Structure 1
């Protein structure tokens, strides 16, 4: 019995020592990472940092956290950020976000309020800590931009996992109950013919990056998308629905080239709304309708299958030019 008690005491002391060493490593790792970011020109800081959860967890809490990357123009700040990991599985982290937070972008600041927002991140064991998979969920999200707009989402789910191809990742996104900014809704739907909220937005894609997403991704040149395979995307808003699939190549400036095939339900109504919103010039409306009717087949029925073509920095819907193609790598513009 004495030997058994001694063994239990030794094991308990050993585990306590392991937890203490691990907790100290977590704290030093985070403070060192933030110091490295500041040395690289970032604005990075926090109020307090604490690690608890003995004996089976590493529960890390940072208060008044703020990080800002001048190279990309993106950043984040919030009253706290929490990360939880089992002490025997430290490569699997649960992240909890505060109900009020601010996202900094190259264009503006976006304040987020959420009823619940959390994520799960799994990295591969090893020195590089390469991303294996991650999921994020959020409920009752309200976003307010510093440029004067606001929008909300009832529920959002995002997932990413390492794909078979080198530096490729499968990405899934689903949003339910998306209410756009009132000014945008008024511009797109002045006749109030659509529901207040977009019922569902879904994306299934594979993105190939210029380098892997690992612990070195924030050092030097950031990973940038070089190819995007849209396996399936769909948005449903009342009687309108759009699905898309196709492949795009992305140049170093972030300009996509390629074709996405769209299937549009009630395309005439959608075209009318696009003209009303100024997305399609009114002088081209009649020509666009005739051209899309030909693509829709004899009689120009309510459904349409049409290519969305990205070429030479521009984008067109079938024969209808829409304007400059979006940049998928935003330039730093925030002051």
Structure 2
């Protein structure tokens, strides 16, 4: 019996020692990351890191955080951020966001993001490469606002990136009851009787990169997309319905080749909104409407687009007719 008690006591001491080392490593890792960002020319301020989680978890509570990347012109401020991980494998990390306002500054202006139960989860494979297994962001009700008012809000949010095999990852993005805010509706000049919320807003895709996402994505270069299988981009708002799918290969210069299928009902209302919002210059409205009207006529219904476009030689084409330059798919 005494021998068993000694074994248990030694196991407890060993576990306590491991927890202390792992907890100190997490705390040190956070501080090292902030120091590295400062060395890169960022503003990276942190008032305190609080440790916790004993005995089975690791926790680092970050307080009064300010980050700013001068090259991207992006800055974020939040009062709290909690990082937790199981003590037996710190590579499965959950980051709980502050329920209070998160301040965001960008070249587009200052904004505020507020969300309930916002959690970012990161799962890494064991090993020195720290290869990404899954990355997710989920939240309850959230809203995004700026000095003009609420721009958008939704009942929930799901963003996931999950490894399928090797460098192939499945991407999913959904927002339940996505609702443009009063400021957005005012900017789009929507009538009061126009539906307030989207019936559906989602994206599903599989993307194969030139290498898996791992620690090199931070230390060296971002993995670049080489095959994009876009199963669905869907947006349904009132009488407007938009669906897009694509099957593309991407070369080393980011130039895509493949096909894009588009379905759009009541596309003229979409043009009206794009023009009102400033996304479509007024001088190009007639040209864009003429092209889309020709495409709709080819599908047999002038109010509905249902076409398959080809992407090759750096251009988006309908048959042999070039419609627009193809975007380059490069992750900076």
TM-score (norm 2): 0.82
Partner of 1:294: 297
Structure-1 separation of matches of 2:142 and 2:269: 29
> SS of the residue aligned with 2:25?
helix
- The alpha-carbon deviation at position 136 of structure 1 amounts to 1.4
Partner of 2:136: 135
The reply on whether 1:125 has 2:132 as its aligned counterpart is no
Q: Is the 8 A contact 2:61 2:80 kept in 1?
A: yes
Q: Which runs of 5+ in 1 are unaligned?
A: none
- The alpha-carbon deviation at position 118 of structure 1 amounts to 0.7
> SS of the residue aligned with 2:80?
strand
Structure-1 separation of matches of 2:145 and 2:323: 27
Task: Report matched runs for 1:281-320 at 5 Å.
Answer: 281-284=284-287, 287-288=290-291, 290-297=293-300, 300=301, 303-307=304-308
Cα distance 1:17–1:228, how it changes in 2: closer, same or farther (>3 A)? same
Structure-1 separation of matches of 2:325 and 2:310: 11
Task: Report matched runs for 1:1-335 at 5 Å.
Answer: 1-99=1-99, 100-105=101-106, 107-145=108-146, 150-166=151-167, 168-182=168-182, 184-186=184-186, 188=188, 190-191=190-191, 194-209=194-209, 211-248=211-248, 259-267=259-267, 269-270=269-270, 279=280, 281-284=284-287, 287-288=290-291, 290-297=293-300, 300=301, 303-307=304-308
> SS of the residue aligned with 2:262?
strand
Q: Is the 8 A contact 1:75 1:105 kept in 2?
A: yes
Deviates more, 1:254-263 or 1:204-213: 254-263
> SS of the residue aligned with 2:176?
strand
- Give the total of aligned pairs: 328
- The alpha-carbon deviation at position 37 of structure 1 amounts to 2.4
Structure-2 separation of matches of 1:48 and 1:171: 34
- The alpha-carbon deviation at position 73 of structure 1 amounts to 4.2
Q: Is the 8 A contact 2:296 2:304 kept in 1?
A: no
Structure-2 separation of matches of 1:273 and 1:212: 39
Q: Which runs of 5+ in 2 are unaligned?
A: none
Structure-2 separation of matches of 1:267 and 1:215: 43
Q: Is the 8 A contact 2:222 2:331 kept in 1?
A: no
- The alpha-carbon deviation at position 11 of structure 1 amounts to 1.7
Q: Is the 8 A contact 1:45 1:65 kept in 2?
A: yes
- The alpha-carbon deviation at position 63 of structure 1 amounts to 0.8
Q: Is the 8 A contact 2:311 2:317 kept in 1?
A: yes
Cα distance 1:193–1:268, how it changes in 2: closer, same or farther (>3 A)? farther
- The alpha-carbon deviation at position 41 of structure 1 amounts to 2.6
